Amino acid sequence: MNREYGLAYATLRAARSGGDVPFDAADPAAWIDVDYGVREHLLWENPSVDWLRTGETAPGGAAVAVALCHPDGRVREAALRRPEAAGFPALVVLRCADWARPVREEARRALAGLLPGVSPGTVALVAVVALRAAVRQRGDFARDLVMSFVRSPDRIDALLACADRGARRLGYRVAVEEGHLSAAELARAAATDPDVVVQDLCADAALAHTRDGDHGNVLRPLLASRQPRVRAAGVTALGRTGETEEAAGFLADRSGLVRACARWVLRRHGVDPLPLHRAACAGPDVLPGAPAGLGETGTRADAALLWPLVGHPRPAVRAKAVAALRVLDADAPARLEPLLDDPSVSVVREATTALLPVADRLSEDWLYDRLADDRPRHVRVSAFRLLSAHGPTAQLRCFLRLSDDEDPVLRERALTALDGWGPAGAAAAYRALPGPRRAELDALLERAAAGPGEGQVARVRWFLTAFR
């Protein structure tokens, strides 16, 4: 049973018993779902609306909700005229986009009349429903009306405290337009809000409204934020204040965007960042961003600074050093091979990526041994990736070995690879194999045929024998 269907039937049962709506009235998604569910799933239920015809008081909140969502447009229109409809602003908003013109016009009159009296808490609910309904063909009216209504301080605060991302975006846009928040408050919002749109909006507004002498109150939250985009905005603003020493401290930031902004600030003030990157990699306390930054700006000659970091105690530093060597095209396969057994997943991943272009030069048997069940999973994944870039028979041997593996992800990847296996020259390479290796492949084919790879094995066998 889907959510709309379940909510519709629960609401109908509550209406028949005279109860209230059986869901959280502050949940905007529930109102949208129950509206759709009643109209789509209860068409043949013929929910009773006798109280509308007789002019009696509604038997309960659920009965009003069912009437406002009723499949019959005349019932929806009549329900909107009742005073009880004001207690269901979310449904009134949805009716503003109704396909039936009389219903739509009545809902728009009702919404314009009830908005001035709603509480700040209800403002957030109405705004969320209006924003989500705006994608409908006639949904722009409610959105525009709500946007013009939420410009008072208490209503803006209600939007800023809303859990819904769209409502917070609207709240911060209005807050910026109305000057509702100070530059320091905008900076704190940019540093703490999880939504990137709000982060960018508030960071830009905070910096635009910063007065001379007030940079500290604005830049400190931005520079200390956990969000890379916000830190980048703060670092870029350092170019305005000329604080190159503080900008240099972000050359080893964990975010590449922040490092790039720090370099821009330094170059703008005539400082070459490359010597600073080199010094950051040569010091005693190397941060993971230091080798990454050197890889972004250095040359192959800087490999002498990076290779010692491949043995650093911190896995993040080792991984970034390997990545930097790859970017500088200074990696040496023989020196990277031992890293495929590193206990760190990120180090093995970076070493694998660096070795992929030369995978066919690595020992097939050495890699094949790392597919063993007792190896760590990240080591087995690395061996699979490298053998997949090896010669055709090495690929086949790997795929067959893993076609019945206990690891479901590796097994599925191997079976998928078997489906597409058939490189040029594979049949000739198979025939040229030494006897023991060919016998091993045949045994793997037999084993795979008895497992999940039966269909794939039949195709592989045909491929190996069809081009004699």
Residues 133, 97 contacting (CB under 8 angstroms) = yes
Distance CA 39, CA 94 (A): 13
- The string of pLDDT tens digits covering residues 443-457 is 988 888 887 877 878
Instruction: For residues 74-101, give the mean pLDDT.
Output: 95
Q: Count of alpha carbons within 13 Å of 153, Cβ hemisphere only?
A: 3
Instruction: For residues 87-103, give the mean pLDDT.
Output: 96
Confidence of residue 52 (pLDDT cuts 50, 70, 90): confident
- The string of pLDDT tens digits covering residues 268-301 is 999 999 999 999 999 889 999 999 999 999 999 9
Distance CA 288, CA 344 (A): 14
- The answer to whether the Cα torsion of 217, 223, 227, 228 is positive or negative is positive
Confidence of residue 427 (pLDDT cuts 50, 70, 90): confident
Alpha-carbon dihedral 214, 218, 220, 222, rounded to 10 degrees: -160
pLDDT (0 to 100) of residue 386: 98
| Secondary structure of residue 282 in the 3-state scheme | helix
pLDDT (0 to 100) of residue 364: 94
Average pLDDT, the chain: 92
Q: How far apart, in Å, are the Cα atoms of 384 and each of 192, 344, 358?
A: 41, 17, 14
Residues 210, 228 contacting (CB under 8 angstroms) = no
Alpha-carbon dihedral 203, 204, 209, 210, rounded to 10 degrees: 60
- The string of pLDDT tens digits covering residues 368-397 is 999 999 999 999 999 999 999 998 999 999
Q: How far apart, in Å, are the Cα atoms of 343 and each of 237, 245, 312, 365, 448?
A: 40, 37, 13, 21, 31
Q: Count of alpha carbons within 13 Å of 383, Cβ hemisphere only?
A: 27
Q: How far apart, in Å, are the Cα atoms of 58 and each of 48, 53, 110, 324?
A: 11, 11, 18, 70
Distance CA 3, CA 388 (A): 44
Confidence check: pLDDT of 179 > 60: yes
Residues 50, 147 contacting (CB under 8 angstroms) = no
| Secondary structure of residue 82 in the 3-state scheme | coil
Distance CA 420, CA 435 (A): 26
pLDDT (0 to 100) of residue 406: 93
- The string of pLDDT tens digits covering residues 319-339 is 999 999 999 999 899 999 999
In the block, which residue shows the tokens 């889907």?
2
In the block, which residue shows the tokens 């009003």?
64
Residue of 173, 265, 185 whose CA lies nearest to 218:
185
Instruction: For residues 306-327, give the mean pLDDT.
Output: 97
Left if phi > 0, otherwise alpha if psi is -120 to 50, otherwise beta: which for 46?
Answer: left
Cα angle 323, 231, 271 (rounded to 5 degrees) comes to: 70
Both tokens assigned to 146: 């709500």
Confidence of residue 59 (pLDDT cuts 50, 70, 90): confident
Angle (deg, nearest 10), helices 196-208 and 215-223: 160
Angle (deg, nearest 10), helices 377-388 and 345-355: 10
Q: Which of 118-127, 303-312, 321-330, 432-441 has the lowest mean pLDDT?
A: 432-441
pTM of this prediction? 0.81
- In angstroms, how far apart are the furthest CA atoms of the chain? 93
DSSP secondary structure code for residue 407 in this structure = S
Confidence of residue 139 (pLDDT cuts 50, 70, 90): very high
Residues 79, 67 contacting (CB under 8 angstroms) = yes
Give the amino acid at 129.
V
Residues 413, 382 contacting (CB under 8 angstroms) = no
Distance CA 133, CA 143 (A): 8
Confidence of residue 467 (pLDDT cuts 50, 70, 90): low
Distance CA 108, CA 93 (A): 8
- The answer to whether the Cα torsion of 455, 456, 457, 463 is positive or negative is positive
Distance CA 398, CA 453 (A): 13
pLDDT (0 to 100) of residue 215: 74
Q: Which of 161-170, 210-219, 244-253, 358-367 has the lowest mean pLDDT?
A: 210-219
Confidence of residue 212 (pLDDT cuts 50, 70, 90): low
| Secondary structure of residue 68 in the 3-state scheme | helix
pLDDT (0 to 100) of residue 53: 80
pLDDT (0 to 100) of residue 60: 87
Confidence check: pLDDT of 46 > 70: no
Instruction: For residues 247-266, give the mean pLDDT.
Output: 97
Confidence check: pLDDT of 44 > 80: no
Residues 80, 110 contacting (CB under 8 angstroms) = yes
